[in-house]
């Protein structure tokens, strides 16, 4: 896909910053809206480069369910654009923040509808990335069906921009569901887990089945959301209850009050145990997979991360203190360092 003169000029200016950072011995931290910052413990001087104004739709083919956007475009702005064709990106973060598309890719995020629509990474068809080591890279394709052997975009998913700066993202979009319905229950673990299993017996796939916890709540919540056609919703209303239409996503003030945000997944057999040991912060756990998103005080972070890994789960810091020794598995440290050396040999990106 060809670049406009304005795009070329901005990219050239950003590439020049890489060389300048090397000459003057400082580091570059690229931000979208700044929601997912890991505070660095390094003594190196950092300069912020914002992509907030890189926010245009580059190309859109509604018939092919494909859109290409600049990395600074927010989820809500993109969905506003797609709404004219009754399409959308089904992505809402558990903490309710409106991330940029580039930020979602760089931080490896998933939303509350992962159980029904699949992981966000499966929507990423192509990326344009500016790297200090190799210059501009076009990774992936601009079509849904791609037979290339290597899925290079996956390399940059969750890399947090340390290999290169993501400037454009090509995504697969979805038709908007004709009907949406939400049901909420309160109760203890035994009651809610039985209800969640019953929901899966009645219908599949649910857009989301989430167990929710807040430190201020005496009971837990079960949030179930169905996206589909009227006949299925009518059946579920007879079996489950009336539910509610267009219910706003659960929002906890605890997200802003906690020092660290974690994401990851645990085996389903320990979901209840995770919710019990998560003592002082909001937590949302996907019933179908054990994927979770939660906030904690900094003092509890290492304990919870250790607990999760002891039970063969995965966890990483989304925002808060970097905790590099705790947030990156020793298994991937060596390959990560070799990739960093190749794509950013002078380590100008943090």
**Does residue 199 or residue 35 have the better pLDDT?**
199
Q: Which residues lie closer than 8 Å to 76 by C-beta, 6 or more apart?
A: 98
H helices present in the chain, as ranges: 5-24, 75-82, 101-107, 114-117, 153-156, 189-202, 230-240, 254-257, 271-277, 298-310, 324-327, 330-343
Residue 40 has pLDDT above 60, yes or no: yes
pTM of the full predicted structure?
A: 0.92
pLDDT in the model for residue 148: 54
Q: What is the DSSP letter of 175?
A: E
The predicted model gives 200-223 an average pLDDT of 92
Domains 26-175 and 179-327 share a fold: no
pLDDT in the model for residue 250: 81
Angle at CA of residue 315, ends 257 and 224, nearest 5°: 70
pLDDT in the model for residue 290: 97
pLDDT in the model for residue 149: 52
Tokens of 270: 């320990």
Q: Which residues lie closer than 8 Å to 79 by C-beta, 6 or more apart?
A: 88, 89
pLDDT tens, residue by residue, 224-277: 999 999 999 999 999 999 999 878 888 777 787 789 999 999 999 999 999 999
Residue 331 has pLDDT above 70, yes or no: no
Are 75 and 89 in contact by the 8 Å Cβ rule? The answer is yes
Compute CA distances 233 → 178, 182, 206, 242, whole Å: 11, 10, 11, 9
pLDDT in the model for residue 336: 86
Task: Please give the CATH architecture assigned to the domain spanning 26-175.
Answer: 2-Layer Sandwich (3.30)
Indicate the SS3 state at residue 83.
helix
Rounded to whole angstroms, how far apart are CA atoms 263 and 318?
7
Domain regions of the chain by residue span: 26-175, 179-327
**Segment (H or E) for 34:** none
Compute CA distances 136 → 26, 165, 167, whole Å: 21, 9, 10
pLDDT tens, residue by residue, 280-295: 999 999 999 999 999 9
Of 180-194, 248-262, 316-330, give the range with the top mean pLDDT.
180-194
The CATH class for the domain spanning 179-327 reads: alpha beta
């Amino acid at each position: 896909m060809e670049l406009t003169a304005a795009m070329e000029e901005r990219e050239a200016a950003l590439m020049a910053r890489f060389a300048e950072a090397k000459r003057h011995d400082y580091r570059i931290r690229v931000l979208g809206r700044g929601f997912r910052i890991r505070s660095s413990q390094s003594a190196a001087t950092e300069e912020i480069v914002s992509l907030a104004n890189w926010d245009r739709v580059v190309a859109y083919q509604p018939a092919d369910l494909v859109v290409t956007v600049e990395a600074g475009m927010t989820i809500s702005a993109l969905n506003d654009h797609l709404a004219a064709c009754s399409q959308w990106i089904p992505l809402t973060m558990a903490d309710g923040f409106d991330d940029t598309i580039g930020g979602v890719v760089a931080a490896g995020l998933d939303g509350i509808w992962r159980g029904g629509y699949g992981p966000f990474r499966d929507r990423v068809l192509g990326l344009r990335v500016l790297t200090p080591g190799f210059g501009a890279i076009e990774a992936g394709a601009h079509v849904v069906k791609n037979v290339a052997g290597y899925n290079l975009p996956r390399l940059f998913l969750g890399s947090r921009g340390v290999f290169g700066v993501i400037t454009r993202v090509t995504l697969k979009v979805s038709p908007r569901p004709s009907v949406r319905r939400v049901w909420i229950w309160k109760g203890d673990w035994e009651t809610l887990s039985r209800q969640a299993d019953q929901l899966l017996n009645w219908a599949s796939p649910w857009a989301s089945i989430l167990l929710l916890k807040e430190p201020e709540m005496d009971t837990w919540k079960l949030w179930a959301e169905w996206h589909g056609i009227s006949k299925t919703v009518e059946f579920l209303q007879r079996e489950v209850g009336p539910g509610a239409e267009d219910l706003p996503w659960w929002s906890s003030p605890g997200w802003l009050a906690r020092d660290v945000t974690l994401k990851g997944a645990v085996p389903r057999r320990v979901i209840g145990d995770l919710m019990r040991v998560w003592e002082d912060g909001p937590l949302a756990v996907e019933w179908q997979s054990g994927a979770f998103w939660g906030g904690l005080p900094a003092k509890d972070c290492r304990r919870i991360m250790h607990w999760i890994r002891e039970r063969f789960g995965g966890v990483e810091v989304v925002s808060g203190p970097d905790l590099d020794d705790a947030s990156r598995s020793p298994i991937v440290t060596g390959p990560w360092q070799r990739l960093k050396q190749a794509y950013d040999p002078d380590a100008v990106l943090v």
